[in-house]
Structure 1
Amino acid sequence: MSSVSEALPVRRGPLVVAGGVLGAILLSSLANALIAVLAHAVGAPDDFDPLKPAAYIFLTTLGVLGGTVGWVVVRRFSRDPERLLRRLVPSVVVVSFVPDFFQFGAGEVTGVVALLLMHVVVAVIAVLACRRVLPLNSAR
């Protein structure tokens, strides 16, 4: 038997949602900064533009915002948002790798591996934030 709290929809105000999204952007950007520093420490060239803060912070912000919009659409219109997101999130992350693979042509392996890791980290943080501020049990 389910508890009463599971049956009742959870409502989150816009400030809570905005705070969660902003927190995800900040935490993801900090994690990506650490990844960039480590990548440079193990051999990624300093002039590898995607590992510069302006590039990865901008793209991290776009990724979190885009992921959040997708989350909202899925939770609103899907009959089984949990199941759909379980398949959709990894698929979108893999597709997001495609532009990074073109960096291999420049001969940069360490930087590209760092970028791929950044995508995964941003996705994990964004999903955790969305689960907290936009829970799937309140989709309807």
Structure 2
Amino acid sequence: MSEVSETFPSQRGPLVLVGGVLIAFLLSSLVNALIAVLAHAMGAPKDFDPLKLASYVSLTGLGVLAGAVGWGIVRRTSRNPEHLLRRLVPSVVVVSFVPDFFQLHEGGVKGMVALLVMHVAVAVIAVQAYRTVMPLESVR
């Protein structure tokens, strides 16, 4: 009996790509809503704008979309996209923390930590979606 290697196309159709990014956005927004509710329950200020639905949903959408564009660029242009993305993704997440630290005076430690957790949650969810709809290798 011979082994058969399963080959996946490295290019997905546009509907699959849009669907994957949309699912990442929706799931990330849902997780961020849970984080916001928990942060408020633990004492983050109710009037802290970044933990309001309109703020984090719009920024989540922007982040997921920007991440998808960046992932696609790296995937197409890098000789070793896996290696590059293993360094780039955590670096971008850490850089994304910078504006959150400026929110300390308004949101307190609990509000700021909630924002940091939101960034990590969005990155984890988005990377899994990108791996599915924009795989980095054609043979698995």
Q: TM-score range by the shorter chain?
A: over 0.9
> Where do residues 36-115 of structure 1 align in structure 2 (5 Å cutoff)?
36-106=36-106, 108-115=108-115
TM-score, normalisation: structure 1: 0.92
AA at the equivalent of 2:102 = F
Unaligned runs of 5+ in 1: none
AA at the equivalent of 2:15 = L
TM-score, normalisation: structure 2: 0.92
SS class of match (2:102):
helix
Distance 1:43 1:77, change over 3 A: same
RMSD: 1.5
Unaligned runs of 5+ in 2: none
AA at the equivalent of 2:53 = P
Aligned to 2:119: 119
Encode CA deviations 1:8-57: one digit per residue, 9 max, x unaligned. 64331100010000000000000000000000000001100000000000
Aligned to 1:4: 5
AA at the equivalent of 2:27 = L
* Structure 1 residue runs of 4 or more that deviate by more than 4 Å after TM superposition: none
AA at the equivalent of 1:28 = S
Cα separation, 2, equivalents of 1:90 and 1:107: 24
Higher helix share: 1
SS class of match (1:5):
coil
Distance 1:107 1:130, change over 3 A: closer
* 1:22 aligns to 2:22 (yes or no): yes
